[in-house]
Amino acid sequence: MRRPNEDTLRHQGLRNKLIDQLRVKGIQDEQVLAAMSRVPRHFFMDAGFDELAYLDRSFPIEADQTISHPYTVAYQTQLLGVKKHEKVLEVGTGSAYQSAVLAELGVRVHTIERQRKLYDQVQAFGWLKKSYPFVKFFYGDGYAGLPKFAPFDKILITAGAPQVPIELMQQLKVGGVAVVPVGEGESQRMYRIVRASESQLEQQVLEEFQFVPMLQGKSL
């Protein structure tokens, strides 16, 4: 993949317009918007998409996957409500755009991807690793999570899960929050889950979105 490596004034202008659109669409968390205004989304896509990167659209990345809509990234990040220094598990690294937005918010990101090709691509992505040295990347199955690094303050799933992955929720701290798109068909409902006690999850069912499916196991 050919990566753009220049963040021009034009890119910054387009990015600011996108941030204004997100505000109009209802994103209110100024910290999330500021973080997104600092991440050059076009760096995470093929250079062929350079002119389109600041539209509120999803785009194809390798391995038949997609980089989520900016609105979806903003919505999920806002809903997660992270605080600086929190430990966050992200399932579905994909392009690593969402990981970068979380890193901009000062959290310790642990992100896991089941597609070898995408994981390898991110490993080779020098700018990203230099800019966000505290993001840890893993190749594996998000359903298994990262027991060695658990418990997490927050868990963010960026693929559509057929149902809430209950076992994974055990890796959440008591009082911790998970954001999970749930549904098997064309669209998913966003769930905000709070681990209210050792044995109790409280869930809130929110807006409808479209995600690629959360699949089990690793893929070569």
**Nearer residue to ligand SAH within complex by CB, 68 or 188:** 68
Q: What is the separation, in whole angstroms, between the first and last Cα of the chain?
A: 18
Shortest distance (Å) from residue 196 CB to ligand SAH? 25
d(CA 159, CA 219): 15
Shortest distance (Å) from residue 218 CB to ligand SAH? 8
Shortest distance (Å) from residue 175 CB to ligand SAH? 24
Report helix, strand or coil for 95. Answer: coil
**Nearer residue to ligand SAH within complex by CB, 46 or 141:** 141
Residue 99: active-site member: no
Shortest distance (Å) from residue 28 CB to ligand SAH? 21
Q: Residue 212 contacts by C-beta under 8 Å, 6 or more apart in sequence?
A: 64, 65, 66, 159, 160
**Nearer residue to ligand SAH within complex by CB, 74 or 91:** 91
Quote the strand ranges of the chain, DSSP E.
Answer: 59-60, 66-67, 87-91, 108-113, 136-139, 152-157, 172-182, 188-197, 200-209
d(CA 92, CA 96): 8
155 bridge partner residues: 89, 178
**Nearer residue to ligand SAH within complex by CB, 143 or 149:** 143
d(CA 138, CA 123): 10
Residues that bind ligand SAH (CB under 6 A): 65-68, 91-92, 94-95, 97-98, 112-115, 118, 141-143, 158-159, 212, 214-215
The residue with tokens 């600041």 is 54
**Nearer residue to ligand SAH within complex by CB, 11 or 41:** 41
219 bridge partner residues: 115
- Choose, from 58, 68, 95, 99, the residue flagged as catalytic: 68
Shortest distance (Å) from residue 100 CB to ligand SAH? 8
d(CA 69, CA 58): 4
Catalytic residue ranges: 68
